[in-house]
Structures are given as C-alpha cells and as structure tokens.
Amino acid sequence: MNRRSRILALLGAFFLISCGENSVKRGYQSLQLGDYDMAIGFFNEQLYRNPRDFQARVGVGKALLQKSYANNQDTLLWRQALVHLQAARSIENHDFINLLLKDAWITYGRKMLSAADTMSALIALTFALDYDPSNSEALNLSAILFSSFGLTQKAESLLTVASHNHKTDKDILFNLGILHFYRKEYAEALGIWKSGALFDSSDTELRQWIHLAEKNNSGKRDP
C-alpha cells in the first residue's frame, strides 16, 4: 500500500468513527428530548456500522424501554429492549445495566400482577432478583405471591432476608407481621407492627390489624 492509499484508508476510518460518534450523540440528544423513534433510528445507524458498539446498544435499549412505558408497557418493545441491554451487558458488564434490567423485569412483573397472571409475575420477579438479589420490592412482591400459593415458609424466608437488608421498609415489615398473624403467632406479629420502624398511629389499616392481634393474643393467653 503506497502512502496515498494509507492516508485515504486512515481518513476513511476516521470518517466512520466520526459518523458513529455523531449518531450515538444525536441518539442520546433525541432520547433526552423524549423523541424515542428518532433516538432508536440514530442508535441503529451506528449498530449497522458496528454491532458491538456498547453506547449504541445501551442507548437503543433505553429508548425502547421508554417507548414501551409510554405505550402502556408494550410487551414487544419491552422484549426488544431486553435483547439490546443483554447484548450490551455481554460487551461490557456494568452495574447500571443490571439496574436497568432489574427495573425492566420488576415493571413487567407489576404488569403481570395487574393482569392476574401470577406465574408470569413470579418469573419476572425472579429474573429481577437475579440482577439485584436484595431488591426490596422484588422480594416483597415475590413473598406475597408465594404466600398466595400457600408456600408461607418460602414467603417468610424472602421477607426475612428483605427485612434484614431493609430494616425500615414498612411494606416488608407489615407483610412479615401478616404471615405471623395467620400462623396465630400474634405476639410475634405485634412485636413487628408495634416496632418503631413501622408503627404509625395515623395508619388506620395497621391499627385495625394490631387490634385484631391484641384481641386474639389476649384470648390465646386465657386458661
């Protein structure tokens, strides 16, 4: 290769890199403006040139997720987003990608719960916990589902882990108390519900459960 050819080759490579950087930059600018279709188009331009471009993979994954959420959690868009985010994770594994994937699975789990598809919801929450094992919402919702299936031991183990990691999470503590209540372990339920981390005198529902537990616990102690 002569000198002129080498210079032309270098200029061509520089041009491709410059175009790629511009496409990704414009993609993120479009994403910030809420123009998800344009963002997806710019990111895809770069992915056609370089399928292993990490920033473009993350960008198109984010854009597809946002478009999915804006369209009543469109499942097809959501699945496409996961493909790109998983691809990005295989290129470079960063904590923020795990958080994106965790949030995506929790959102899908909530959608399945609202549709009364409990098994799909549990599967989604299990995937969420793969990416963030200590996530309080995924642990709490999974425990509720296991309890509804009659698997109270599994539910309690999840809530115990969750309460250890999130000592002031009121939903987790409340549900842990509920499990004890239905096992007729009223003193244990009261101990949780009256704890400083949970007790709120303005919480009408909690006060009703405390009243029931106190009544049952009192009757349990009678000879």
The whole-number pLDDT of residue 16 equals 43
Q: Tokens 């539910």 correspond to what residue?
A: 155
In a shared domain, residues 160 and 81: no
User: In this predicted model, which residue has the larger pLDDT, 3 or 106?
Assistant: 106
The whole-number pLDDT of residue 132 equals 92
DSSP-derived letter for residue 115 is T
Number of independent structural domains in the chain: 2
The whole-number pLDDT of residue 205 equals 85
The whole-number pLDDT of residue 199 equals 63
Q: Is residue 138 part of a domain?
A: no
In a shared domain, residues 4 and 76: yes
The whole-number pLDDT of residue 17 equals 43
Q: What is the CATH number of the domain that holds 157?
A: 1.25.40
Mean pLDDT value of segment 171-189: 86
Mean pLDDT value of segment 94-109: 92
pLDDT digit string (tens) for 183-203?
888 888 888 888 765 667 677
Examine the fold and report which residue of 76, 93, 110 is the final residue of a domain before the chain moves on: 93
Q: Is residue 58 part of a domain?
A: yes
- Percent of the chain exceeding pLDDT 90 equals 45
The whole-number pLDDT of residue 21 equals 65
DSSP-derived letter for residue 74 is -
pLDDT at 36 > cutoff 70? yes
Q: Are 47 and 57 in contact (CB under 8 A)?
A: yes
Q: Is residue 16 part of a domain?
A: yes
Average pLDDT, the chain: 84
Torsion angles phi and psi, residue 134, rounded to 5: -105, 10
CA gap 189, 182 in Å, rounded: 9
The whole-number pLDDT of residue 47 equals 94
Q: Is residue 105 part of a domain?
A: no
Q: Is residue 143 part of a domain?
A: no
Examine the fold and report which residue of 67, 93, 119 is the final residue of a domain before the chain moves on: 93
Residue range(s) defining the domain that contains residue 87:
1-93
pLDDT at 63 > cutoff 90? yes
pLDDT at 11 > cutoff 70? no
Q: What is the CATH number of the domain that holds 37?
A: 1.25.40.10
Residue 41 banded pLDDT, cuts 50, 70, 90: very high
Mean pLDDT value of segment 114-131: 93
Residue 15 banded pLDDT, cuts 50, 70, 90: very low
Q: Is residue 140 part of a domain?
A: no
Residue 48 banded pLDDT, cuts 50, 70, 90: very high
Taking the model in full, what pTM does it have?
A: 0.75
The whole-number pLDDT of residue 198 equals 65
Q: Other CB atoms closer than 10 Å to residue 100's CB: what's the count?
A: 21
Q: Is residue 1 part of a domain?
A: yes
**Region at 199 (left for phi over 0; alpha for psi -120 to 50; beta for the rest):** beta
In a shared domain, residues 86 and 158: no
Q: Are 99 and 132 in contact (CB under 8 A)?
A: yes
What the block records as the tokens of 157 is: 């183990």
Residue 152 banded pLDDT, cuts 50, 70, 90: confident
Mean pLDDT value of segment 110-114: 89
CA gap 117, 163 in Å, rounded: 26
Q: Which of 145, 194, 149 is nearest to 174 (CA)?
A: 194
Q: Is residue 185 part of a domain?
A: yes
The whole-number pLDDT of residue 12 equals 45
Examine the fold and report which residue of 48, 78, 93 is the final residue of a domain before the chain moves on: 93
Q: Are 20 and 12 in contact (CB under 8 A)?
A: no
